[in-house]
Amino acid sequence: MSDACSPVRFTVNGRAVEVALPPATRLADALREELGLTGTKIGCNAGDCGACTVRLDGAQVCACLVPLAQVEGRGVATVEGLAREGRLSRLQEAFHAHGAAQCGICTPGMLMAADDLLARDPRPGEQAVLDALGGVLCRCTGYRKIVEAVLDVAGTGPAAQRDADGGVGARIAKVDGIAKLVGAEDYGADDWPDDALVLRALRSPHAAARFEVGDLAPLHARFPGLVRVLSAKDVPGPNAFGIYPVGKDQPVLAEGEVRYRGEAVLALVGDAATIAAIRDEDVPVAWTPLPAIAGVAAGLAPGARRLHAHLADNVLVRGRVRRGDPEAALAGAAAVASGRFSTSFVEHAYIEPEAGWARRVGDRIEVHVTTQTPYMDRDEIAHVMGLKPEQVRVVPTAVGGGFGGKLDLSVQPLVAIAAWHLGRPVRCTYTRPESMASSTKRHPAEIEARFGADGDGRLVAAVFHGDFNTGAYASWGPTVANRVPVHATGPYEVPHVRATSRAVHTNEPPSGAFRGFGVPQAAIAHETMMDELAGQLGIDPLEFRHRNALRRGSVTATGQRLEASAGLQACLEVLRPRWRELRAAAEAANREGGVLRRGVGVACMWYGIGNTSMSNPSEMEVGIARDGAITLFTGALDIGQGSNTIMAQIAAEALGVPASRIRLVTGDTDLTRDAGKTSASRQTFVSGNAVRLAAEDLRAQLARLGNADLSLLPEVARGCVAMGRGRFDPPTTALDAEGQGVPYATYGFAAQLADVEVDVELGTVKVLRIVAAHDVGRAINPVQVEGQVHGGIAQGLGLALMEEYLPGRTENLHDYLIPTIGDVPPIETILVEDAEPLGPFGAKGIGEPALIPTAPAILGAIHHATGVRIRSVPATPDRVRAAILAHGARP
């Protein structure tokens, strides 16, 4: 194609280039596909995410919106041009030092937008930074460290607190951070063999339908570059995958029936231009739409059509925890609060869409992919291909955000099956709408709760039921249904409990894992209960929580005695002065009157670290080479949360060397052992322990070798002359029929304050500040922990105020709103370190705990400001305004 086009001449980072592509080619595509400058990322191709931001003649632009013809004779600057002669720019250095890049997929765009700002205004204030970076979305960081980094360079903000090196507790920069800052990190869509074919899935436009595929010969005749159209019959093994051995219910390619909009039906494979040219309507598929089941009420309705033949009532799974006699206790309670709550589908909105490629190597298949779980992918790919797991090699790319959404298969089986049949590499990158339509979501929940307390303000009983819309396929529905009842009381001592849950199938997107596995939804209910009981009893909401907080020696609803780390009371105590101060300030402001009302809310959370009552081991290796180089072989995927750095610090501490001595080999299933998935906030606690044990094993081996000359020792594995191995599986027990047992070895605890301003005429809510106190056991790296807190709070803010995925209506980042840099307020983070004896150097986990209290704290603040309880999230302006009108607070 390029031969027929006149070349467009321009400069990139000062270098003259010529590109002969059609004039309407997106500049982003020209940079990436033609010039190999994949530092410029594509998150949406629609001008919504800013990941593709470059400078054009100095001014920031979205390269996905600029036609190639418009750059003739002009100068383009990309992230690859920021570092000079191998030295990072001051801006890149500041991002590194402040921990401003987590997954790093947004980082090139952020850097270029900031570079533009600093060129125009060398000493910007915070508002100017917010304005200049406002077009670039970040889903990981909560933006605050990005703002700090830019202000640091400008000299208008503080320098980073950073340790140059160290072990546990050191504020070192990411050990793998530089590649993210210079555009050298390869994500799923950034690298592929030259001869790779391109695959695109044809997906259902209907939520429920039967279909027939017509004669494909005319399609092949019309598009000679179409090499193959794969259908269900091309799946070599069982055409069904799923996380649980008993829940393999999702076809790679649908067989005659689709159960949700976005389900894959066929896979078109060919050269890139051909695949781009084929429109969906060119493919002969005859659809017969069926009535779609939307919402759990429809799924549970008597006579509702079964989504899966083996489930008579569309209930995938039920969860239960029962202890004592809650009804009797409620009957005798001095105060009882009750309520119904509902939450929406929430989209992960990682800025990197699903992407990867595969090639056949003899009788093995090799899959390079963005994933949170290489070993689970390996086993699932092997299953659908009818291969042994050893015949599958998964090589994870860098991951541009996951949050649970990249725990399920996406492109993996498609490219693997295509490459297997064709004997050629095949690559696939989802478009943003495709990613949003086809990927898993946070479960919408319908919750009923009743809690009671005695006259002293002590909780006596909790009754909770949650129905979770698990969509068309099982995915992680069982995990949500089992985790929620355990956490339904909130982090409080409640002697009498009945907590139940159901995961219900509908013709909606499969709901899966999303940062918290249903606990954030449950927290909205239990925290509202706390506020209402405190209100009825005339007790301060923070003090009410403190009085009832789980602590060392407490017994949970599953009958587990908390033997050690349980720092919730400490979290509330450190928040107490800020709570009083902010509440008083809000009440003083409200005495002035006006349409803007201030409010301050508090919310708490607990979260079991690791899988619920299931074995979830991690295995690690640490080796030493003849030259003394130490390598950590880690299968624990760093999806931006910083686990590579955390693991290196733990290994360093256990070996007594600085973290800079530790090299990393990550993820590749041929080179690392199974560390389990990156989810359930488990990697620091579980894999961190495995790393510690591996490093201690290596240290013991070296001690036995005494003064032996390493250079003379034989290799034992992968270039190492000694290899330490560690394995850790958290001690838990199965839950019995009443949900009694030890579901988790340890728990994270936290409390957060939200300070908000509500415009009672418009219904808009602006979060002014979050104060977060988190008991993390031990902060292995406080910078990374703070980053997780910030990012979790931003996602919690989205859950509370703006995020609502509507299939077919919000399948892009224009209509689906996530918090922008202007939405996330200043965050005060206080780390409480109630050391966990089972944890590596006392550490627990932080990934999910960070998000869980934010939404209920914001909802509590809205109530404080207006007197209105919002029980259905997101609390969009229309809902808030309607609630205010119904409450009669304002005309």
What is the contact surface with ligand FES in residues (CB under 6 A)? Answer: 42-45, 47-52, 62, 64, 101-106, 138-141, 351, 401, 640
Q: Which is nearer to ligand FES, 640 or 748 (CB)?
A: 640
Q: Which is nearer to ligand FES, 105 or 575 (CB)?
A: 105
User: What is the CA angle 844-523-885, rounded to 5?
Assistant: 150
Collapsing DSSP to helix, strand or coil, 528 comes out as: helix
Q: Which is nearer to ligand FES, 669 or 810 (CB)?
A: 810
Collapsing DSSP to helix, strand or coil, 100 comes out as: coil
**What is the rounded CA–CA span in Å between residue 672 and residue 670?**
6
- CB 430, min distance to ligand FES, A: 13
- CB 500, min distance to ligand FES, A: 36
Task: Phi first, then psi: give them for residue 503, nearest 5 degrees.
Answer: -105, 120
Q: Which is nearer to ligand FES, 32 or 441 (CB)?
A: 32
- CB 326, min distance to ligand FES, A: 43
Rg of the chain over Cα atoms, rounded to whole angstroms, equals: 27
Report which of 104, 447, 484 is spatially closest to residue 317, judged by C-alpha positions: 484
What token pair was written down for 874? 């997101």
Q: Which is nearer to ligand FES, 101 or 460 (CB)?
A: 101
Q: Which is nearer to ligand FES, 66 or 337 (CB)?
A: 66
- CB 336, min distance to ligand FES, A: 44
- CB 109, min distance to ligand FES, A: 8
Q: Which is nearer to ligand FES, 231 or 431 (CB)?
A: 431
The beta strands (E) that lie in 250-363 are given as 257-258, 264-270, 285-289, 315-323, 335-342, 346-347, 355-361
- CB 4, min distance to ligand FES, A: 26
Fill in the DSSP letter of residue 292: P
Task: Phi first, then psi: give them for residue 755, nearest 5 degrees.
Answer: -115, 120
Q: Which is nearer to ligand FES, 41 or 360 (CB)?
A: 41
For residue 253, give every residue at least 6 positions away whose Cβ sits within 8 Å of its Cβ, in sequence order, or none.
230, 231, 232, 234, 235, 239, 264, 265, 266, 267
Q: Which is nearer to ligand FES, 432 or 598 (CB)?
A: 432
Q: Which is nearer to ligand FES, 375 or 514 (CB)?
A: 514
CA atoms within 13 A on the CB side of 836: 30
CA torsion sign, 361 to 365 to 370 to 376?
negative
Per the CB < 8 A criterion, the answer to whether 260 and 472 are in contact is: yes
Report which of 820, 824, 823, 874 is spatially closest to residue 49, judged by C-alpha positions: 820
Task: Phi first, then psi: give them for residue 317, nearest 5 degrees.
Answer: -160, 155
- CB 662, min distance to ligand FES, A: 23
**What is the rounded CA–CA span in Å between residue 877 and residue 531?**
22
Q: Which is nearer to ligand FES, 140 or 307 (CB)?
A: 140
**What is the rounded CA–CA span in Å between residue 462 and residue 8?**
68
- CB 28, min distance to ligand FES, A: 6
CA distances from 414 to 239, 379, 448 (A): 11, 15, 41
CA distances from 745 to 494, 604, 685, 833 (A): 20, 20, 10, 17
Collapsing DSSP to helix, strand or coil, 538 comes out as: coil
Task: Phi first, then psi: give them for residue 541, nearest 5 degrees.
Answer: -60, -35
Q: Which is nearer to ligand FES, 108 or 242 (CB)?
A: 108
- CB 173, min distance to ligand FES, A: 14
**What is the rounded CA–CA span in Å between residue 454 and residue 676?**
44
CA torsion sign, 87 to 90 to 92 to 94?
positive
Task: Phi first, then psi: give them for residue 886, nearest 5 degrees.
Answer: -65, -35
- CB 102, min distance to ligand FES, A: 4
- CB 106, min distance to ligand FES, A: 3
- CB 639, min distance to ligand FES, A: 9
- CB 509, min distance to ligand FES, A: 22
CA of residue 590 relative to chain centroid, distance: 37
- CB 508, min distance to ligand FES, A: 26
Other C-beta atoms lying within 10 Å of the C-beta of residue 709: 8
Report which of 56, 59, 69 is spatially closest to residue 25, judged by C-alpha positions: 69
**What is the rounded CA–CA span in Å between residue 752 and residue 601?**
8
**What is the rounded CA–CA span in Å between residue 731 and residue 838?**
9
- CB 352, min distance to ligand FES, A: 8
Task: Phi first, then psi: give them for residue 306, nearest 5 degrees.
Answer: -75, 130
Report which of 686, 728, 691 is spatially closest to residue 167, judged by C-alpha positions: 691
- CB 446, min distance to ligand FES, A: 31
Task: Phi first, then psi: give them for residue 689, nearest 5 degrees.
Answer: -65, -40
Q: Which is nearer to ligand FES, 445 or 783 (CB)?
A: 783
Per the CB < 8 A criterion, the answer to whether 841 and 784 are in contact is: no
- CB 26, min distance to ligand FES, A: 8
Q: Which is nearer to ligand FES, 437 or 773 (CB)?
A: 437
Q: Which is nearer to ligand FES, 141 or 616 (CB)?
A: 141
**What is the rounded CA–CA span in Å between residue 19 and residue 617?**
51
Per the CB < 8 A criterion, the answer to whether 115 and 77 are in contact is: yes
Q: Which is nearer to ligand FES, 67 or 295 (CB)?
A: 67
- CB 59, min distance to ligand FES, A: 15
Q: Which is nearer to ligand FES, 149 or 486 (CB)?
A: 149
Q: Which is nearer to ligand FES, 139 or 598 (CB)?
A: 139
